[in-house]
């Protein structure tokens, strides 16, 4: 599932392409809205809300879409060949005289009254990239279930909106805690919430979800996607396991040396490299 910063970039691309333009093409290829006629309406704005996209139209209508695992919006110029996938995967087309936005594999395509947007996104916690970001409320929601595993709590969009599996893994590393650490054992959750905001802000206009400060391929993350490879800080092999309850479980990545706390039964003891990684000095984060 895309991270909140990826959805933010998608919204920015759609807004640039469509906002202020009159729809000359509007094709919603889902049974509930297949007969809806949106042509002639002006696109007012495209706004991200966590991992949701809200395309607001003249006349008090909003097209609510969600990418989930495989969805994608692609923007094409007039005459440009559509390249986001086969035609049978297209779920929505919004076209103006300037550009055409094509939504592929969208699992959520919902047309609703703008005044009723809360029905679609009202359950979400504070939006990490939203104008109404409320860190105190995010911390309060995280603390509401102190026994909940940290990674699972971070992934719950009802706590704070915008964190996906990449940032959940990286934030646990930066906090020096395993993904299974109970939220109530985190000494300063407000620091973690602030770090989450900083990371998404830093990455919202660039690809890669960089958390290390190093944009080179293979160096962008501390533990995410590095299963079996050395931790960049201490050299210990990064481990993986599942966190959460199926079907909402996710793959967790962690360094068994740098991160304190519980781990799945049978986790091997850390074997560190002969020399410390650059800048690491063998010190665990958060200590």
Q: In the annotation, is 185 catalytic?
A: no
> Cα dist. 117→21, 40, 122 in Å?
22, 22, 7
For 12, 93, 211, 215, the CA distances from 207, given in Å and listed in that order, are 13, 24, 12, 10
Taking only Cα atoms into account, the Rg of the chain, rounded to an integer number of angstroms, comes to: 21
Active site residue 204: no
- The answer to whether 2 is a known catalytic residue is yes
Of 9, 51, 91, 233, the active-site residue reads: 51
Q: Measuring CA to CA, which residue among 113, 135, 255 is closest to residue 198?
A: 135
Is the Cβ–Cβ distance between 64 and 117 less than 8 Å? yes
**Structural contact between residues 106 and 63, judged by C-beta atoms closer than 8 angstroms:** no
Relative to beta strand 43-49, strand 61-66 is unpaired
Active site residue 51: yes
Give whole-number Cα distances, 59 to 19, 219, 225, in Å: 14, 47, 45
Q: By three-state DSSP, how is residue 61 classified? A: strand
Q: What is the dihedral of CA 150, 278, 280, 253, to 10 degrees?
A: 20
Interatomic CA distance for residues 30 and 108, integer angstroms:
9
Answer whether 168's CB lies under 8 Å from 222's CB.
no
Catalytic residue among 143, 191, 195, 250: 250
Q: Which helix (H) or strand (E) holds 284?
A: none
Question: ∠ at Cα 93 (38, 8), nearest 5°?
Answer: 100
Provide the annotated active-site residues. 2-3, 51, 250
């Amino acid at each position: 599932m895309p991270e909140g910063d990826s959805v933010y970039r998608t919204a920015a691309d759609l807004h640039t392409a469509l906002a202020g333009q009159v729809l000359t093409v509007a094709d919603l290829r889902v049974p509930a809205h297949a007969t809806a006629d949106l042509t002639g309406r002006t696109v007012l704005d495209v706004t991200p809300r966590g991992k949701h996209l809200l395309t607001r139209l003249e006349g008090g209508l909003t097209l609510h879409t969600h990418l989930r695992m495989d969805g994608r919006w692609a923007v094409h110029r007039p005459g440009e060949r559509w390249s986001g996938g086969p035609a049978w995967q297209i779920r929505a087309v919004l076209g103006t005289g300037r550009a055409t936005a094509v939504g592929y594999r969208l699992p959520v395509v919902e047309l609703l009254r703008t005044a009723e947007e809360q029905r679609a996104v009202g359950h979400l916690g504070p939006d990490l990239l939203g104008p109404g970001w409320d860190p105190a409320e995010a911390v309060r929601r995280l603390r509401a279930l102190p026994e909940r595993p940290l990674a699972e709590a971070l992934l719950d969009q009802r706590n704070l909106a915008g964190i996906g599996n990449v940032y959940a893994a990286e934030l646990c590393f930066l906090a020096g805690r395993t993904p299974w650490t109970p939220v109530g054992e985190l000494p300063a959750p407000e620091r973690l919430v602030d770090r989450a905001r900083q990371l998404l802000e830093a990455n919202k206009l660039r690809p890669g979800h960089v958390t290390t400060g190093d944009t080179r391929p293979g160096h962008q993350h501390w533990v995410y996607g590095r299963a079996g490879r050395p931790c960049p800080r201490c050299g210990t092999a990064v481990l993986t396991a599942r966190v959460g309850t199926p079907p909402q479980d996710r793959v967790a990545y962690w360094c068994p040396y740098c991160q304190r706390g519980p781990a799945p039964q049978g986790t091997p003891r850390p074997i560190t490299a002969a020399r410390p990684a650059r800048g690491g000095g063998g010190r665990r984060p958060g200590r």
